[in-house]
A and B are shown apart, each in its own frame.
Chain A
Amino acid sequence: MNDLSKLMFHLIASGSEEAGAAGHGGEHAAHHATSYWATMALTGLTLLVIGFLLVKAKSGFTNRTFRGVISQSSEQLYLFIENMCVGTIGSHGRKYVPMILSFWLIIFFSNVIALFVGASPTSVLSFNLGMALVSIGYVQYEGIKSNGVFGHFSHFAGPKLGGPLVIISAMIFVIEIISEVMKNVSLSLRLFGNINGGHQAVDAMNKISFLPLGELLIPIKLLTCLVQAMIFCLLTCVYLSLVTHHDEDHGHEGHGELAAAH
């Protein structure tokens, strides 16, 4: 298991750095190819695990009371995500449950798999960026669908200001656009930093002595798996809430409060 962990970790996290240090273009491309396919293989493994668990869970949906631990856990997870969506977005947030639940499953199980194989898709920044782009892209799509193109983008300019203060509105608009773009970076980097940082910390502690001291970090890493999945989903809910609130007064105030909280 330890060898497998080292292999996956080096293939994904360290392979490109070694190639860069070597300075050979061909070797760099070869390592990149390995990193790509290793990431896709881990993604496939994650999806297989999720699929297996969902099949097991679905087989228990036959009675009024769900049978089996996995079915009951999946019900609790669904209710947890539903509460998160409805609590954060509002009553119309129930329609986002499938997407948020999918994000949660992929991130959480990807993180948990990393505890066994030493690497995961979520420890790859590019993969996290893809998830963030899907999340923020969907938020923008919902914002445009709810408020119209003009309404959605005029929201970025803040409250309507007259006269020379229009310049301030323009500046706010630019800042908000940058902020929207940077949401992708913050979502992806946060997840990458936490998961990859955990792997790096375990690797560093394992090198201290012949004892695998890094494994002592497993409880913290398990907590990180849960917390990071929840943070990603919660922030997606917050972003959806910001763009789908129709109450104008509440919308502007809420935007400020939620942005400050973020």
Chain B
Amino acid sequence: MSQTSSSVPTPVKVVVGLALFVGGAFLHSSWHPEFYKTLEGQGVPLDFGITLSAIGVLLFTFPIIDMFFVKPLQAALHERNSALETTFSEVEELRNEMTTMKSNYEKQLAATEADAREKINSQIKEAQALRQSVMSEATEKADALVKQAQEEINMEKNRVLADLRSHVTDLALAAAEKVVAENMDTDRNRKLIADFVQQAEVAK
């Protein structure tokens, strides 16, 4: 874009161009060789004055077009391309940044998930241990209560049996008094009472 086609300064080109233009006009007005007519007769109209002036016009036109139009156009195109490249690089940077953020976010998400999973597992284990502990404690308490209840039942049963035995004895004695009073055979009656009591215990 910055390449130049010639190292000749523009003012020099313009001055040389103008000089050639004037020289062409002078040549045209002062030089009329015979071969002009010959060439015209052959359908090739030639005038070196016009040629020289044309060269002069082109010499000062080229740098003017270059300086006035081509260079601004090149600068505008360069500026536009630079702006586009900057925009593209910014977009690329933002995309990279977004990719990095996405990657970080995914890592954070994975770490959070792992942490949460670990905590959940830990809580589950803890709950299971607590459950085991509570269950064993409850079982122990239940066993103790059952044992205590059995002991109380046995004691109550023994007491009730003793009361019953005493009551039965009293009844038996009362019955015996009546029987003795009737039979007067005390030993034999007592033996009968004892047998009765024995049978009553067996029956219980």
A residues within 8 Å of B by Cβ?
13, 16-17, 20, 25, 28-29, 32-33, 35-36, 39-40, 43, 47, 50, 54, 57-58, 61, 64, 66, 74-75, 78, 92, 94-99, 101-102, 105-106, 121, 124-127, 129-131, 133-134
Task: Contact check, A94 vs B50: say whether CB atoms are below 8 A apart.
Answer: no
For B1-18 the 0/1 string (1 means CB < 8 A from A) is: 101110000000000000
| Residues in A neighbouring B62, C-beta threshold 8 A | 98-99, 102
Do A97 and B55 contact each other (CB < 8 Å), given the known contacts A16-B40, A129-B46?
no
Min CB gap B44→A, angstroms: 6
In the complex, the answer to whether B53 meets A29 with C-beta atoms within 8 Å is no
Instruction: Tell me the minimal C-beta distance from A180 to chain B in angstroms.
Output: 17
Q: Could you tell me if A126 and B73 are in contact, using CB atoms closer than 8 angstroms?
A: no
The prevalent SS among residues of B at the interface is helix
We find that the number of chain B residues with CB closer than 8 angstroms to chain A is 42
Q: Among the listed B29, B68, B70, which residue makes an inter-chain contact with A101, where contact means beta carbons less than 8 Å apart? A: B70
Q: A25-B32, A94-B3, A95-B4 are in contact. Are A57 and B69 (CB under 8 A)?
A: yes
Smallest beta-carbon distance A236→chain B, Å: 12
A36 touches B58 (CB 8 A): no
19 extra interchain contacts, Cβ-Cβ under 8 A, other than A57-B69, A126-B50? A16-B45, A17-B40, A32-B28, A36-B25, A36-B47, A50-B65, A58-B68, A61-B73, A61-B76, A64-B80, A64-B83, A66-B76, A75-B77, A78-B77, A98-B62, A98-B65, A98-B66, A126-B48, A133-B55
For the complex of A and B, the 8 pairs showing the least CB-CB separation, nearest first, are A130-B54, A95-B3, A126-B50, A61-B76, A98-B66, A130-B51, A98-B70, A54-B69
Closest CB-CB distance, A163 to chain B, in whole Å?
Answer: 42
A125 to B43, CA, bound (A): 10
User: Chain A residues near B73 (CB, 8 Å)?
Assistant: 57-58, 61, 74-75, 78
How many residue pairs link A and B with beta carbons under 8 A? The number is: 121
Interface residue B57 (Cβ < 8 Å from any Cβ of A): yes
Distance in angstroms from A72 CB to nearest chain B CB is: 12
Distance to closest chain A CB from B203 (angstroms): 120
> What residues of chain B have their CB less than 8 Å away from a CB belonging to chain A?
1, 3-5, 25, 28-29, 32, 37, 40-41, 44-55, 57-59, 61-62, 65-66, 68-74, 76-77, 80, 83-84
Q: What is the CA–CA distance of A96 and B49 in the complex, to the nearest angstrom? A: 28
- Tell me if A54 and B3 are in contact (CB < 8 A): no
- Assess whether B32 is in contact with A131, with CB atoms less than 8 Å apart: no
B45 cross-chain contacts in A, Cβ below 8 A: 13, 16-17, 124-126
| Complex Cα gap A127–B21 (Å) | 12
Contact of B40 among A20, A75, A127, A131 (CB under 8 A): A20
Q: Which residue of A lies closest to B56 (CB)?
A: A130
Closest A residue to B25 by CB, please name it. A36
Chain A nearest CB from B5 CB (Å) reads 5
Give 15 pairs: A residue, B residue, CB < 8 Å, sorted on A.
A20-B41, A28-B32, A32-B32, A33-B28, A43-B54, A64-B84, A66-B76, A75-B73, A94-B3, A98-B70, A99-B62, A101-B70, A102-B62, A102-B65, A126-B49
**Closest Cβ neighbor of B73 among chain A residues:** A78
In the complex, chain A residues whose CB is within 8 Å of the CB of B68? 54, 58
Min CB gap B52→A, angstroms: 7
Residues from chain B with a CB closer than 8 A to the CB of A101 are: 65, 70
Contact B47 A43 (CB under 8 A): no
State whether B3 touches A131 (Cβ < 8 A). Answer: no
User: Chain A CB within 10 Å — which of B29, B62, B74, B84 has the most?
Assistant: B62
